[in-house]
A and B are shown apart, each in its own frame.
Chain A
Amino acid sequence: MAQKKGHRSLSSDDPEELARVPLQAVLLADSFATKFRPITLERPKVLLPLVNAPMIDYTLAWLESVGVEEAFVFCCAHSQQVKDYLNKSQWMKQPGTFTVQPIESHDSISAGDALRVIYNLGVICGDFVLVSGDTISNMSLKEALQEHKERRKKDPLAVMTMVIKHSKPSSLTHQTRLGNDEILMAIDPDTKELLYYEDKTDQSQRFITLDKMLLASTPTLHLHNDKQDCYIDICSPEVLSLFTDNFDYQHLRRHFVKGLLVDDLMGYKIFTHEIHSSYAARIDNFRSYDTISKDIIQRWTYPMVPDVQYFGNCSQMKLDRLGIYKAPEVDQSRTAQIRAFSLIGNGTAIGDHSVISNSVIGQSCTIGRNVSIQGSYIWDNVIIEDDCKLSHALVCDGVHLRAGVVLEPGVILSFKVEVGQKIVIPAYSKVSLLPQPSKQDSDEELEYADANSGVVESPSITSIANTRNVDPVPDSPDAEHSDTSEVGISGVGYIWSTTEGGHEEEWRHSIAPIPAEKLMEFCLSAHTDLGVSNQDVNSLPASGELQLDSESTGFDDGEDYKDSADFEKEVEATFQRVLAGVNPENVILEINSLRLSYDMSHADCAGSLFYSIMKSALSAPFSSNRELLLNTGKELSRWKDLLKNCLKTIDEEIEVLLKFEEMCLETTKEFAPLFSAILNHLYEKDILSEDAILSWAEEKEGADESDKVFVKQSEPFLKWLREASEDEDD
């Protein structure tokens, strides 16, 4: 702490430092999620090996290569492990300008909390790069930084630049290659401003709702569903203070980005920067772990590939034909086969007739005879005995598979699990030495609660069994291991039950490819979908341009109709309150505000009000037309002032007439015979002017016969009016 403060004072006092702010980065070494459980119960996610190097090394190497000078590593879960690793690693002692500083916090449960802690430390003095510790990239930040700085100069409200990359989601599962749901973004093609962001699209209904204002304020916008969010952000210092001001911001995207986009009060803007030739992706779940591992082996992340010793600590790999990476000291039997796109770590021994394909094997593993390993990730010091079959599994450090074990696709074996002979671990199971935490616990968005809580709160298993299980070398394991029958005699570990989402979610995020049946299912449903709602699909082109006009007029009418009906009801309700004794002055105010909120004209207002008055006149009991006319006259004279208030111009008066006519025709037919009488009354009470009535009559001149009923009815009155006006003229 003291050291950091010292650093800050140094940077603020030194005039040179003020002139040239060093590029800083905040690296969140905690994903604040539980996707990698059960592995992350024992080791933080950022230290998990990705193609035999810890993920954080990739991120730090990238930060170093883009010219970041100070990186703050925010550790939360397992912070001690992360700090120990950093202290041992090359990053701390490396010469040059790149410094790494760990920041520790124990009570942060989200990215928002983390940024608030960093804000309170006050270590960030300029624009900074915000990444999480599981980001793999080889992009150059120069251009994006430049753009960000220039935008900031012109517009201080442009607080953030998000890096995105073109990547098509699967058309069947609507899932990106990284296993996330597809993201919908609306981007202004000229300014690259991000206008809309949605990462949780509902797959069942294929439409989205955009704010109408969005279309009104920008001439063109592009809707993308084929952009991948790289989770690399260039932020201005304001971002930190925004997090502090809005203490409910937790998630970077779900809360912060969406919050900023919706909030037009502050007017903060987010921009995007698209990268083309370089690579960037974030490991978010097991599927992306698999995908990014394969990308690394296929060298998309060059120069961060195994045979270029980018991080110094890994042994020198040799790259053979067909993407086979081999460490110098691999003890491979002559009959063993290593097939394309595999990597074998140092000191690993492979027995006779074993076949390895598309897999990554760590250091010092022992693989027996006739073992088949396909599409799997095996970390360090794993022992696999003869005749095992592994397909698309993840096997952590120190696991021991006895002879004949079969791991079906999607199996995760956490640290030091042992599996007994000839056991078949069913697909998508997760096996750990630690029992599954209780449900309440897993609901929290925490990668890891506390070293103890996970173990102690286990409901079903006695603590004795627990300690035995944690023991890495059980002496007589088969004696009291009734609870480990799932992993076989002499096996150690608990099979976790699948979470609430069940299998439905498991296959989405698993290491294993999506099973063929599932794809078929999707195929079928997609076909039926197409048949029914072809239009819906068309209305959402992959990256099409939505023209403002065609879109907005489409639903304007419908909404208008709905709105005006609502408005009428509201006005009526307000009027009822006047009857109940509210001051008419207030009613005028209320009606005005209603008019504003519903975006109605004065004419609508007058019409509705008139309608309400007439209705109230009708509500009084009457036995004959004459009585009704009397009632109406009373009501009208009573509310004359109120009505006059709305009748500012001749247009409104005509609207009232039209409304009256409509009423007589449709809703309140009782008034029909009294039309001309009431018209006369309105004229006499000075509610309607002579001009209005005459122009209404003129308007009706050309109309259908059926429309002229009331004009005809009031013909004598109209005639009298005309004569009167002519008289005046004379």
Chain B
Amino acid sequence: MPDVQALVNDFVLKLKRRKIEGSHASAQHTAELLRSVISHQRMPYTNQAGALIDAVKAVGEQLIAANPVELAVGNIVRRVLHIIREEDLSSTATAIEGLGLSAGSDDDDEGQHEDRPALSAAALAAAARSTLRAPSLQTLLEDIPDSAAAPQPPSSGGDSEGKSKSADKNIRSRKLKHDVIEAINELIQDIDTCHEQISEQAVEHIHQNEVILTLGRSRTVKEFLCAAKEKNRSFRVFVAEGAPRYQGHVLAKELVSKGIQTTVITDSAVFAMISRVNMVIVGAHAIMANGGVIAPVGINMVALAAQRHAVPFVVVAGSHKLCPLYPHNPEVLLNDLKCPSDLLDFGEFSDCMDFGSHGGSPLLHVVNPAFDYVPPKLVSLFITDTGGHNPSYMYRLIADYYSADDLVVKRRSTS
């Protein structure tokens, strides 16, 4: 356990000091960290899923607080929580079948719930806990074996039966942990391969002799374009340079090395060029639950230009960028103001910032936000590793990946 704590602290520090940046890298690191947290977690006798969830939440809370702007971290924490719940659900289902209990009939379940208050105080607490959460089918199912296993030995007195149950439980607990780790491995695999999966769909979207516009540099976009090229599509790309970091220059270089006809334009020339463009393809920092996009600064302007000229605005993003939160005041709360020295040279402007001789208040302000918020109505299509989706469909996708209980990652004070 202590070595896991050290790992967690190390990662938290790295996030705090912005040594790990970018959603892909942080998603991957988070998933790997959570995997080792789970594998080191000692499993209690009862309610293993609850213990795992608590452990992951404890770590997740620290990670999210370390860099709240890096939404991918929170996404992965929630994904892992969801995985634990899912695995628990399925293993419970099999366990119930194995025990020969008639899980099929709902009436039976209800009956057990009615019985429970009379059983013991521990069961009462468990029940209270379960009612605090939303009454999903999953939580209902989750509670059955716990309450059934804990109070049964004293009440029934059948020793042999209890023993066999606990032995069975041991196997099951190991199995739960194993299954969860397996699932997380799959998740890591998914994060690793999301670029390939997205770019597989490239030929469906990029047609012969089209003109594509993009802004800045996104690895997903790059792979997407390259994949289309590899399938012998011939098309042209306009790259807006993406001030102030000018990542567009890097992208242009990479595209040219793959043999794609590339034109570099300034960000301010986007409106002038958009009428010649057939499709805009950009990357994203995060996709919010309402279908809005947090993307590198400048993309909102491109989206508006695209809408004005009725050019499809396509966002490519791996599913780890899918965030179950709704954006509230995204320009401020989900933004990161970077160093002004990206914009201008400190030395040249140092006399504008001489507080001694300018009445003490700075007359020159330099603001360098990292992100833009693009409202859902400006987005035509999302391409994720599971295929193309409409902005309005995002909430549904999110319901597949996350469980509603985990939207707020906070440890329950009761446990």
Question: When A96-B10, A298-B366, A358-B361 are in contact, do A319 and B337 touch as well, CB less than 8 Å?
Answer: yes
Q: Which residues of A contact B347 (CB under 8 A)?
A: 165-168, 226, 276
Expressed in whole angstroms, the Cα–Cα distance for A273 and B128 within the complex equals 66
Expressed in whole angstroms, the Cα–Cα distance for A33 and B355 within the complex equals 23
Expressed in whole angstroms, the Cα–Cα distance for A94 and B348 within the complex equals 39
Determine if B17 and A303 form an interchain contact, defined as CB atoms under 8 angstroms apart.
yes
Expressed in whole angstroms, the Cα–Cα distance for A312 and B66 within the complex equals 9
9 A–B contacts, CB within 8 A, in A order: A279-B346, A291-B355, A303-B17, A309-B16, A310-B17, A320-B332, A341-B361, A513-B359, A519-B357
Determine if B346 and A167 form an interchain contact, defined as CB atoms under 8 angstroms apart.
yes
Determine if A177 and B353 form an interchain contact, defined as CB atoms under 8 angstroms apart.
yes
In the A-B complex, list the 5 residue pairs whose CB atoms are closest, starting with the nearest: A166-B347, A302-B339, A513-B360, A167-B350, A168-B351
Question: When A166-B347, A298-B366, A302-B338 are in contact, do A312 and B356 touch as well, CB less than 8 Å?
Answer: no
Question: When A177-B350, A177-B355, A341-B362 are in contact, do A277 and B341 touch as well, CB less than 8 Å?
Answer: yes
Question: When A96-B10, A291-B355, A316-B65 are in contact, do A300 and B341 touch as well, CB less than 8 Å?
Answer: yes
Q: Give how many B residues have a beta carbon under 8 Å from the other chain's beta carbons.
A: 37
Q: A95 at interface (Cβ–Cβ under 8 A)?
A: yes
Determine if B339 and A290 form an interchain contact, defined as CB atoms under 8 angstroms apart.
no
Determine if A309 and B339 form an interchain contact, defined as CB atoms under 8 angstroms apart.
no
Determine if B360 and A392 form an interchain contact, defined as CB atoms under 8 angstroms apart.
yes
Q: A454 at interface (Cβ–Cβ under 8 A)?
A: no
User: Restricting to A324-369, which residues have a CB under 8 Å from any CB of B?
Assistant: 341, 357-358
Say how far A608's CB is from chain B's closest CB, in angstroms. 54
Q: A398 at interface (Cβ–Cβ under 8 A)?
A: no
Q: Which residues of A contact B342 (CB under 8 A)?
A: 277
Determine if B356 and A299 form an interchain contact, defined as CB atoms under 8 angstroms apart.
no
Determine if B16 and A312 form an interchain contact, defined as CB atoms under 8 angstroms apart.
yes
Determine if A308 and B360 form an interchain contact, defined as CB atoms under 8 angstroms apart.
no
Q: Which residues of B contact A166 (CB under 8 A)?
A: 345-348, 350
Determine if B332 and A170 form an interchain contact, defined as CB atoms under 8 angstroms apart.
no
Determine if A512 and B360 form an interchain contact, defined as CB atoms under 8 angstroms apart.
yes
Expressed in whole angstroms, the Cα–Cα distance for A228 and B338 within the complex equals 24
Q: A321 at interface (Cβ–Cβ under 8 A)?
A: yes
Say how far B256's CB is from chain A's closest CB, in angstroms. 27
Expressed in whole angstroms, the Cα–Cα distance for A179 and B356 within the complex equals 8
Expressed in whole angstroms, the Cα–Cα distance for A134 and B66 within the complex equals 26
Q: A151 at interface (Cβ–Cβ under 8 A)?
A: no
Say how far B404's CB is from chain A's closest CB, in angstroms. 26
Say how far B289's CB is from chain A's closest CB, in angstroms. 22
Known: A277-B345, A303-B18. 5 other contacts (CB 8 A): A95-B10, A170-B357, A298-B362, A357-B361, A513-B356
Determine if A65 and B17 form an interchain contact, defined as CB atoms under 8 angstroms apart.
yes
Q: Which residues of B contact A65 (CB under 8 A)?
A: 17
Question: When A170-B351, A276-B345 are in contact, do A300 and B360 touch as well, CB less than 8 Å?
Answer: no
Q: A630 at interface (Cβ–Cβ under 8 A)?
A: no
Q: Which residues of B contact A294 (CB under 8 A)?
A: 353, 355, 362
CB nearest neighbor in A for B359: A513
Question: When A65-B17, A278-B341, A279-B346 are in contact, do A177 and B354 touch as well, CB less than 8 Å?
Answer: yes
Q: B133 at interface (Cβ–Cβ under 8 A)?
A: no
Expressed in whole angstroms, the Cα–Cα distance for A177 and B355 within the complex equals 7
Say how far B97's CB is from chain A's closest CB, in angstroms. 46
Q: A323 at interface (Cβ–Cβ under 8 A)?
A: yes
Interfacial residues, chain A to chain B (CB-CB below 8 A): 61, 65, 94-96, 138, 165-168, 170-173, 175, 177, 179, 226, 228, 276-279, 287, 290-291, 294-295, 298-303, 308-310, 312, 316, 318-321, 323, 341, 357-358, 374-375, 392, 512-514, 519
Binary interface encoding of chain B residues 20-51 relative to chain A, with 1 for a CB under 8 A from any of its CBs, else 0: 00000000000000000000000000000000
Expressed in whole angstroms, the Cα–Cα distance for A278 and B362 within the complex equals 20
Q: Which residues of B contact A291 (CB under 8 A)?
A: 353-356
CB nearest neighbor in A for B342: A277
Q: Which residues of B contact A374 (CB under 8 A)?
A: 360
Q: B205 at interface (Cβ–Cβ under 8 A)?
A: no
Determine if A170 and B345 form an interchain contact, defined as CB atoms under 8 angstroms apart.
no
Q: Which residues of B contact A295 (CB under 8 A)?
A: 353
Q: Which residues of A contact B16 (CB under 8 A)?
A: 308-310, 312
Q: Which residues of A contact B132 (CB under 8 A)?
A: none
Determine if B340 and A299 form an interchain contact, defined as CB atoms under 8 angstroms apart.
yes
Q: Which residues of A contact B353 (CB under 8 A)?
A: 177, 291, 294-295, 298
Q: B231 at interface (Cβ–Cβ under 8 A)?
A: no
Say how far B343's CB is from chain A's closest CB, in angstroms. 10
Q: Which residues of A contact B18 (CB under 8 A)?
A: 303, 308
CB nearest neighbor in A for B361: A358
Q: B6 at interface (Cβ–Cβ under 8 A)?
A: yes
Q: Which residues of B contact A323 (CB under 8 A)?
A: 365
CB nearest neighbor in A for B368: A299
Expressed in whole angstroms, the Cα–Cα distance for A33 and B66 within the complex equals 38
CB nearest neighbor in A for B349: A168
Q: B13 at interface (Cβ–Cβ under 8 A)?
A: yes
Expressed in whole angstroms, the Cα–Cα distance for A309 and B18 within the complex equals 10
Q: Which residues of A contact B362 (CB under 8 A)?
A: 294, 298, 341, 358
Q: B9 at interface (Cβ–Cβ under 8 A)?
A: yes
Q: Which residues of B contact A375 (CB under 8 A)?
A: 360-361
Q: B165 at interface (Cβ–Cβ under 8 A)?
A: no
User: Restricting to B316-371, which residues have a CB under 8 Å from any CB of A?
Assistant: 332-333, 337-342, 345-348, 350-351, 353-362, 365-366, 368
Q: Which residues of A contact B6 (CB under 8 A)?
A: 95
Determine if B17 and A172 form an interchain contact, defined as CB atoms under 8 angstroms apart.
no
User: Restricting to B224-279, which residues have a CB under 8 Å from any CB of A?
Assistant: none
Q: Which residues of B contact A303 (CB under 8 A)?
A: 17-18, 339
Contact of A309 among B66, B337, B359 (CB under 8 A): B66
Expressed in whole angstroms, the Cα–Cα distance for A300 and B349 within the complex equals 12
Expressed in whole angstroms, the Cα–Cα distance for A703 and B76 within the complex equals 101
